[in-house]
């Protein structure tokens, strides 16, 4: 094990350095540097203290890039083919974003609880949604996700994945303790690539619009109008949406000059989309 591959001694962990151990750089060859993520005005000290008490398990091999590469190989065997997606999963250590007691399950294809009734999504589901985003015409031409709006930061893992596959990420979380946790875990990246916002995700985040890609980690009865308005012309949105008779399915929305197209895909199971803030 090299020095770069050893687990950090405490959170916040040097995510950028650990990810770099897998491929030496970000997915597009750029270092993750720049401005810090937004700081909330409440509970920050508690989040940092909680993060500081957590430890990555020792002796389980979770600090090894080989563990992540086995997960990547499994995703590839299941049909995930986009190099940008596979590279992002190889770069970001998932075990750093789950509770220590669940870390041995971090690289299994399973969702895991992160508290407050929320979960970290299965790797295969995240990969599927990213591939759908990257299959949009503008993304294919550009080669990445461009400017991304994420609805539902959760623990921050998907935001880190999106940062590897896009150019900048604005991630909105309505639950203050989860926002604080994600800020603490992502703090070492300090990148202009990721901006964390405490807010009502159903409203999106207009100051950062328009977005080339929008992805949601919670499902409602329909796609909120604010998301559609904030989607760039040529952009693509992927979100779970409830459909009568089918339940929750992945819906892909493309914005064109003359309007929007909606295409429904496979059934999924995400937490409900809620409005307002929870402190």
100 vs 214: CA distance, rounded Å: 30
Rounded to an integer, what distance in angstroms lies between the CA atom of residue 12 and that of residue 44?
A: 13
Dihedral of alpha carbons 134, 136, 138, 141, sign? positive
121 included as an active-site residue: yes
Which residues lie below 8 Å from residue 51, measured CB to CB, with a gap of 6+? 11, 12, 181, 184, 185
- Are the CB atoms for 167 and 193 separated by under 8 Å? yes
Query: Which entry of 64, 111, 121, 222 is annotated as an active-site residue?
Result: 121
DSSP secondary structure letters along 82-131: -HHHHHHHHHS-GGGGS-GGGGGGTTSS--EEEETTEEEPPHHHHHHHHH
- As annotated, the active-site residues are 121
């Amino acid at each position: 094990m090299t020095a770069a591959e050893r687990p950090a001694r405490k959170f916040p962990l040097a995510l950028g350095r650990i990810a770099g151990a897998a491929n030496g750089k970000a997915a597009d060859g750029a270092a993750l540097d720049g401005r810090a993520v937004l700081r909330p005005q409440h509970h920050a000290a508690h989040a940092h203290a909680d993060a500081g008490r957590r430890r990555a398990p020792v002796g389980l091999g979770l600090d090894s890039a080989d563990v992540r590469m086995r997960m990547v190989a499994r995703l590839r065997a299941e049909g995930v083919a986009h190099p940008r997606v596979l590279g992002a999963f190889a770069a970001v250590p998932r075990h750093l974003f789950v509770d220590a007691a669940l870390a041995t399950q971090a690289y299994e294809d399973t969702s895991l609880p992160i508290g407050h009734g929320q979960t970290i999504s299965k790797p295969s589901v995240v990969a599927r949604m990213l591939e759908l985003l990257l299959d949009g015409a503008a993304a294919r031409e550009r080669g990445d996700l461009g400017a991304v709006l994420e609805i539902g930061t959760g623990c921050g893992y998907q935001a880190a994945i999106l940062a590897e596959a896009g150019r900048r990420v604005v991630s909105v979380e309505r639950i203050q303790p989860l926002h604080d946790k994600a800020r603490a875990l992502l703090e070492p990246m300090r990148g202009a690539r990721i901006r964390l916002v405490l807010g009502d995700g159903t409203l999106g985040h207009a100051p950062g619009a328009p977005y080339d890609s929008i992805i949601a980690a919670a499902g409602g009865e329909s796609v909120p109008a604010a998301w559609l308005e904030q989607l760039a012309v040529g952009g693509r949105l992927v979100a779970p949406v409830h459909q009568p008779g089918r339940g929750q399915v992945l819906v892909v929305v493309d914005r064109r000059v003359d309007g929007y197209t909606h295409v429904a895909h496979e059934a999924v199971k995400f937490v409900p989309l809620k409005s307002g803030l929870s402190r």
